[in-house]
Amino acid sequence: MLDAKEVLSKVRCDHFVDGEYVKSYGTKEETLLNPANNEPIATFKLGNAKDINHAVSIASAAFHNGPWRHMEIEERAQILYKMAGLINDNSEFLAMLESLNVGKLYKACLHGDVPRAAENFKFFTTPRWRHMTERYRMGSNFLGRSIDAESIVDREPLGVCGIIKPWNSPLMLASWYLAPCLLMGNTCVIKPSPWAPLSIMQLGEIANEAGLPSGVLNIVPGGADAGQALVKNQDVRGIVFTGGDKIGRSIQIENAQVRRKGPHLELGGKAPTIVFDDADMNLAVEGVAHGIFRSQGQSCIAGSRLLVEEKIYPEFMRRLVEYVKTLKISDQFDPAAHIGPLINRTHLQRVEDYIKSGIKEGARLVCGGKRPQGENLDRGNFLEPTIFEVNKPSIKIYREEIFGPVLTTRSFKTVEQAVLMANDTDYGLSANIWTEDLEKAKRVAKALDVGMVWVNCYFVRDLNTPFGGRKCSGNGSAGGRYILEYFSQPKMTCIAHYSK
């Protein structure tokens, strides 16, 4: 493992604009703390509206006057392929930064997030995306003459795209959008979350080394004011937002004042996990725990509402609690750790407020709920994996996205009841089903009002497939052709051929 101090001494903390790391116009400084001990790891300047508008003007000039959009898609793909290689070459460095900044387990960053980010870049460089032009021919008639009408449908870039990111899994989530955005010939300004900008900020150096023309990728970390400036800037032609439902709604309204193209919104979730009595119990117990406690529950697809068939409910809960108690809470660099710290004290306290409200509203605390004790744990933002049994579905912890290691559980009697309970939420991002009866699983999957369903697994994703939700979970899909469609606009050219 690399030395953390050495990694931090090399980290780029300035904004990346026009192919260079530059100072911010802003004066507000943000110090990031290691979630495991709250010691400072890096300081950067929060971008403000002036920084954003400057970056947009650079991205706009790069789009209109630079070579990027005129290159053949193969040439752009080659540069993105190099970026993928460089992400992999720097995987230990990037994984350590991500882990130090977010508190996500180092092994998950090294073997999951970082290689997956590279994979996302690579995926969009495969030849299949280079042949998106459609061609049609049809016999027709014009001014009394027969013609052979040749129609060509090209996909053209939008222009400057604004990409706004949340703080969980920043590098991997950024790669979902940067790769397709750039492949289609757009230029962009990405605004990482002020809580977790470090890994994304290193992409500037990687882009330069890969030969990305300057001005094509610009990175300005900042808070709400910077995000708002990006949405309001009229030179931005498309907004891609990943974050909470509340901000997503405000962006939808703001966006409508500025541009006709709607924003692409990937928002929160409150995923149901349905366990039927015929499930492989050992696998389901581990799967359910993984689905909620992985990344300390700080995931949009966290399976935070567990619904278990009544017949097996007591036994399943007994085994689940027994299993959860074996999970090791520790520093994110401990190879034996299952659960690391939450990102910061503010977020920890927010999650603890939910726990208090659950108790106040009458949910039964089955396990967890406290900060774990221990010499090395006191200084960090650790929280025990927490399970509540819920009687009233109206209570806050059952309805709102907690984004922490808190599972709510209920039992159900019939398949129909399970479906009703699963769909009884404002969100519609994902769901999980555990059963040995795959026909039943398919029927239930069809009845669930969500964008993604995992059966007997969790977050296994072919990059060709859509990632996205419905209802308050958003309106678009990352992945495959779905996101390429957002980042491009069709143009039809019809040529009449007259017979001589």
Which residues belong to the active site? 266, 300
What is the closest distance, in whole angstroms, from the C-beta atom of residue 233 to ligand NAD in the complex? 11
What is the closest distance, in whole angstroms, from the C-beta atom of residue 421 to ligand NAD in the complex? 21
Query: Applying CB under 6 A, which of residues 162, 166, 340, 368 lies at the interface with ligand NAD?
Result: 166
Dist. CA 26–CA 22, nearest whole Å? 12
Based on its alpha-carbon atoms, the radius of gyration of the chain, rounded to whole angstroms, reads: 24
Binding-residue pattern over the window 283 to 302 for ligand NAD, x denoting contact by CB under 6 A? -----------------x--
The reply on whether position 228 binds ligand NAD by CB under 6 A is: yes
- CB atoms inside a 10 Å sphere around CB 35: 28
Beta strands in 143-235 (DSSP E): 145-157, 160-164, 187-191, 217-219
What is the closest distance, in whole angstroms, from the C-beta atom of residue 173 to ligand NAD in the complex? 6
Please, which residue, 170 or 385, has the CB nearer to ligand NAD?
Answer: 170
Q: Is 258 exposed, middle or buried (0-12, 13-18, 19+ CB in 10 A)?
A: middle
Compute the CA torsion angle 414, 269, 428, 256 (nearest 10 deg).
160
The reply on whether position 62 binds ligand NAD by CB under 6 A is: no
Query: Applying CB under 6 A, which of residues 60, 168, 202, 411 lies at the interface with ligand NAD?
Result: 168
What is the closest distance, in whole angstroms, from the C-beta atom of residue 231 to ligand NAD in the complex? 5
Please, which residue, 295 or 435, has the CB nearer to ligand NAD?
Answer: 295
Query: Applying CB under 6 A, which of residues 76, 82, 165, 294 lies at the interface with ligand NAD?
Result: 165
Rounded to 5 degrees, φ, ψ at 2 are -70, 160
Task: Supply the DSSP symbol for 352.
Answer: H
The reply on whether position 268 binds ligand NAD by CB under 6 A is: yes
Span near ligand NAD by CB under 6 A; candidates 23-31, 43-51, 161-169, 322-330: 161-169
Dist. CA 121–CA 183, nearest whole Å? 9
Span near ligand NAD by CB under 6 A; candidates 90-98, 108-116, 166-174, 374-382: 166-174
Quickly list H helices, 66-131: 73-89, 91-102, 106-108, 114-123
Query: Applying CB under 6 A, which of residues 32, 33, 87, 164 lies at the interface with ligand NAD?
Result: 164
Check: CB of residue 444 under 8 Å from CB of residue 420. Answer: no
- ∠ CA(85), CA(127), CA(136), 5° rounding? 155
- ∠ CA(270), CA(267), CA(49), 5° rounding? 145
What is the closest distance, in whole angstroms, from the C-beta atom of residue 403 to ligand NAD in the complex? 5
Span near ligand NAD by CB under 6 A; candidates 22-30, 227-235, 324-332, 487-495: 227-235
Dist. CA 43–CA 347, nearest whole Å? 19
The reply on whether position 274 binds ligand NAD by CB under 6 A is: no
150 bridge partner residues: 137, 495
Query: Applying CB under 6 A, which of residues 11, 59, 62, 173 lies at the interface with ligand NAD?
Result: 173
Rounded to 5 degrees, φ, ψ at 197 are -95, -10
Which amino acid, residue 453? Answer: V
Dist. CA 103–CA 339, nearest whole Å? 10
Stretch 382-401 residues interacting with ligand NAD (CB under 6 A): 401
Query: Applying CB under 6 A, which of residues 223, 262, 372, 466 lies at the interface with ligand NAD?
Result: 223
Please, which residue, 66 or 244, has the CB nearer to ligand NAD?
Answer: 244
| Residues contributing to the site for ligand NAD (CB under 6 A) | 164-168, 173, 191, 193-194, 223-224, 227-228, 231, 242-244, 247, 250-251, 266-269, 300, 401, 403, 429, 474
